[in-house]
Amino acid sequence: MARVGKNSPLNDLSGQLGKQLVLKQYADKTGVSAYPDMSKVKPTGLQLARRAIFGEAVAYAKAINNNPTTKAEYLEKLAPGQTVYHFAMQEYFTNHP
């Protein structure tokens, strides 16, 4: 993995640049690597099941967030700094283990 110099404009950045480069932070250094090729990785049955549950949770949270009536009800339940979407996601995972 290549390292970025201290005076580089890429220093202190993290994330991906297109689907070609990945910038990572390691303590006080920034590393650059190739974007991973995950095309040959096959998910396990448990991973597929968890992804399906997560997809259901996203659909549930979006439905609540897009309905003004239920969104208003949820706004009353929120703690400071919490969003309706994330509260609904948390609620779904709590009620559907």
How far apart (Å, rounded) are the C-alpha atoms in residues 9 and 3?
Answer: 13
The beta strand positions in the chain, using DSSP E, are: 2-4, 15-17, 21-26, 29-34
Average pLDDT value for residue range 46-71:
96
Q: Is the entire prediction scored with pTM above 0.95? A: no
Mean pLDDT of the chain: 89
Q: What percent of the chain is predicted at pLDDT more than 70?
A: 97
Q: Kindly report, residue by residue over 6-19, the tens digit of the pLDDT.
A: 777 767 778 888 88
What is the model's pLDDT at position 47? 96
